[in-house]
Amino acid sequence: MKLEGAKVVVVGMARSGVAAAELLRSKGAQVRAVDQNLVCVAGLEVEPQTASSLAGADLIVLSPGVPADLDIVDDQRRKGVPVIGDLELASWFLRGEIIGITGSNGKTTTTALTGHILRESGIPVQVGGNIGIPPVAMVAASRDDQWNVLELSSFQLETIESFRAHIGAVLNVTPDHLDRHYTLERYAATKGNLFANQRAEDFAVLNADDSACRGYASAGKGKPVWFSSTHEVSPGAFLKEGQLFLDHEPLMPASEVPLRGVHNLENTMAAAAMARLAGATHAQIRAAVMTFPGVEHRLEFVREFGGVAWYNDSKATNVDATLKAIAAFDGGLWVILGGKDKNSDYAPLAAPLRAKARGILLIGAAADKIEVQLSDAGLSRSGETAILTCGTLEAAIAEARDRAKSGETVLLAPACASFDQFENFEHRGREFKRLVQAL
């Protein structure tokens, strides 16, 4: 639509919303900034999030953190007002081809690794989306000869209309954000929006070991490219006898991947497949993977203290991510769990915790629910795995310091959102690292 002179309401004045307002203003739109909280934004007068603040809009742009089914937003839809998200807005102006990466877990690592491979291979690239720079803030620096590698959340994908990724990837689908999407089916369908506008010359990179991902193979017109840690696939990447293969050619030994866990081998294979489609060679991909420094707050080694290793996986904000984190270690774990519940089922954690954990340290608003569900699944305070309700992250770290023995590991992998006690998972991870470094 024509933006010059249009009355556009931007709902949600976090980083993405502010960037959207700036882009819209640069295109000549009359921007009204709205937020449910009283926030101060330089150069913008922010109005409260009410029905009247949306009245008279020609277009409404939602930030990712704003639910798309708000009553006041639905009222405007019924009046014929277009409602989009910041990703859709960015796609109207973003120059260069897009690689879009989503999934319940691993998308930050895979996005960062894909960007790293392309950059190290001399292929022009910028990285953003749900990681770092909002899509709308990437428009100014975009070029026709450049790849835009975007981490995409379900919140961003639920409000797209014409957005198209030349290469789209879904890494996995497990229960997450059910407090927002309500059912696993709706959540999975939102992820599948990534492929809705693909054309025959596009590619869908999919996890062959994930049933939902297999279903996406027919969701759009893009050509499926697979990755698997359990069997050979074609075209795509697979793990066989300790070796990563790409398009049936050896890529690198799995032991050379500098990231813990089978899930990170899957992330590496997905990134390799996408980088190959974008023009990187096998040799360039292998060399770049070996120099990848990893992602902050993702199985991040913090320090060793008294023979105990401390790891920060604050980005493990759902149960499946925590399961993958636990699987990356042999045992002797003290696991810090808890935070803001997302309508999750914590029972699947019981068996691996019983097998590998010396203790469970519960924090945050979800602590009681987690203990009840673990107990119902056969893990209780009277068992061999200690369960301690600590309340705060600082108290959990103090307990772990006193109880963990040399050779054991303390792992922050909360399986919850962070918003009960922290601004976001980054804030939680930084605080964990600060407290651990101060031991």
Mean confidence (pLDDT) of the chain:
95
**Cβ-Cβ contacts under 8 Å for 279 (sequence gap 6 or more):** 121, 123
What does the pLDDT read at residue 19?
95
**Separation of alpha carbons 331 and 125, rounded Å:** 39
116 catalytic residue (yes or no)? no
Catalytic residue among 116, 166, 177, 324: 177
C-alpha triplet 60, 61, 66: angle, nearest 5°:
110
- Would you say 234 and 247 are in contact if contact means Cβ atoms under 8 Å apart? yes
Q: Which of 105, 116, 130, 324 is catalytic?
A: 130
User: Percentage of the chain surpassing pLDDT 70?
Assistant: 98
pLDDT digits (tens, 9 = 90+) for 327-338: 999 999 999 999
Confidence of residue 422 (pLDDT cuts 50, 70, 90): very high
pLDDT at 230 over 80: yes
From the candidates 105, 107, 172, 193, which is the catalytic residue? 107
> By three-state DSSP, how is residue 115 classified?
helix
Determine the pLDDT at residue 178. 62
pLDDT reading at 97 higher than 90: yes
Q: What is the pLDDT of residue 130?
A: 85
**Can you give the pLDDT at residue 43?**
82
Rounded Cα–Cα distance for residues 37 and 438 (Å): 34
pLDDT band of 83, cuts 50, 70, 90: very high
Name the pTM for this structure.
Answer: 0.85
Report pLDDT digits (tens) over 162-196: 999 999 999 999 866 667 666 888 889 999 999 99
- Tell which residue, 6, 23, 10, 22, has the closest CA to residue 58: 6
Distance (Å, whole) CA 198 – CA 402: 54
The CA distance from 320 to 139, in Å, is 33
**Structure tokens that stand for 372 in this block:** 């009840």
Q: What is the pLDDT of residues 368-419, one digit of tens each?
A: 999 999 999 988 887 789 999 999 999 999 999 999 999 999 999 999 999 9
| Cα–Cα distance list, 271 to 95, 126, 186, 264 (Å) | 22, 15, 26, 10
Share of the chain above pLDDT 90, in %: 87
| 107: annotated active-site residue | yes
Domains of the chain by start residue, with CATH:
7-81 (3.40.50.720), 89-290 (3.40.1190.10), 300-437 (3.90.190.20)
Q: What is the structure's pLDDT at 180?
A: 66
What is the tens place of the pLDDT at every residue in 107-162? 999 999 999 999 999 999 999 998 889 999 999 999 999 999 999 998 999 999 99
Distance between CA atoms of 169 and 171, rounded to whole angstroms? 6
What is the rounded average pLDDT of the residues 324-350?
Answer: 96
Residue 304 pLDDT greater than 70, yes or no: yes
